Amino acid sequence: MKFYIKGLIFCCMLIAMSCKKDSTVPANDFDRAALAANWANNIILPSYRNFNDAVNELDNAIRTFNTTPSGNNLSTAQGKFKNAYLAWQKCSPLGFGPADQLLLSKNLNTFPTNVIKINTNIASGNYNLDQIANLDAKGFPALDFLLFGIGANNNSILPLYATDTQASKRKDYLAAVSDNIKTQSDNVLNAWLPTGGNYLATFLNAKGTDVGSALGQVINGLDYDVDVLKNYKVAIPVGIMPSSGTQTGGPLPYEVEAYYSGISSQLIQVQLSAVRDIYLGNAAGTEGVGLDDYLIKINAQRNGSSLSDVITQQFASAITSMQAIPDPFSSVISNNPSTVISAYAQLQQLLVLLKTDMPSSLGVLITYNDNDGD
């Protein structure tokens, strides 16, 4: 299924409280301003800056490769691609504000990529990567194919950019995709910076619990991100959910993220860790104010246990379940799907806690419905 997130339909609805969670009333004296400041200054801005740096290094490596197509330069570009894709995973949960307005996830990470469309664009030389029709022919999934999947190995990939009759067009397309990623990264970072759109100030001043508050945006962003991860990165490839255009489910290993570079599991682990760090308020190994502190403050409970602890423990279980899946993820789906199904179950449990128990405890409105019953 294309990662257009068609099934996630935005609507205003108050999420029902879990039947297993003890009722709590949000405290009014928790310092939500400090929470927002920690997120903004120590997690959000550094994540976007690091991503922008990684994207610039990737773009430079691709330009060098296009100028001098060699085995070493190809390997360097491939390495920079992996670094940038990993850096993106830390920004993926931040899909609110400017990222939402810019459709950042769709522009950067619509997968699986459309190989036929990419090759058609290359052959014609006539394409506009800003058009919606090309969402599945650009971004990291397109680079994944262009740098890793266009040939069986580097020895067969290199001639396609050096001596093939379409080498020049292929290099042009590679550069165009890279430049589009760079533009997207520049735009979202600039939108947050005080020297640009200064969404930072808007975020810091949104101190309530409504949908537009910093708290509401972050919780919705985390929930949405885990929902997409669970469904599109795990459930559809392993066959728990059907893909678009199919009537029944079945394993679709080629629909994993980063199919050609084979780093799917690693990407998911980084993404899950990023969501956990936002929940805990942790940045670069330093503990800060997080949602766990808010839940502790209001003494939120689940079955007589601290809801904060239950969520933290479930994050650990979900991450551990993914660490048990080696790359390439697609091979595990084909040869040992039970481990992937087990990881899906852990993700499902995590999402229930994040999407139902936590928001209802904090009085936050969840503004999307995925219709899959979590």
Q: How far apart are CA 289 and CA 45, in angstroms?
A: 16
157-171, 237-251, 297-311: segment of lowest average pLDDT: 237-251
Rg (CA), the chain: 21
pLDDT in tens, 59-90: 999 999 999 999 999 999 999 999 999 999 99
**Do the Cβ atoms of 140 and 148 come closer than 8 Å?**
no
Give the tokens for residue 18.
Answer: 């879990």
DSSP assignment string, 114-136: -HHHHHHHHHH----TTSGGGGG
Q: Which residues neighbour 225 within 8 Å (Cβ) at sequence distance 6 or greater?
A: 92, 93, 95, 271, 275
pLDDT of residue 285: 86
pLDDT of residue 207: 92
pLDDT of residue 242: 86
pLDDT of residue 8: 38
Rounded to 5°, the CA angle 332-327-230 comes to: 70
pLDDT in tens, 128-166: 999 999 999 999 999 999 999 999 999 999 999 999 999
Q: Which of 108-125 are b and which e, b meaning 16 or more Cβ less than 10 Å from the residue's Cβ?
A: bbbbbbbbebbbebbeee
Q: How far apart are CA 71 and CA 73, in angstroms?
A: 6
Quote the percentage of the chain above a pLDDT of 70.
89
pLDDT of residue 24: 46
**Do the Cβ atoms of 219 and 351 come closer than 8 Å?**
no
Q: How far apart are CA 232 and CA 258, in angstroms?
A: 12
7: pLDDT strictly greater than 50? no
Of 207, 297, 212, 218, which is closest to residue 39 (Cα–Cα)? Answer: 218
Residue 227 pLDDT class (50, 70, 90 cuts): very high
pLDDT of residue 284: 86
In terms of DSSP H, where are the helices of 154-290? 154-162, 167-192, 199-205, 214-228, 236-238, 264-280
5 or 39, which is more confident: 39
Rounded to 5°, the CA angle 368-371-374 comes to: 90
Scanning the structure block, which residue is given the tokens 């003890």? 22
Residue 243 pLDDT class (50, 70, 90 cuts): confident
pLDDT in tens, 20-32: 344 344 546 899 9
Residue 248 pLDDT class (50, 70, 90 cuts): low
DSSP secondary-structure letter at 92?
T
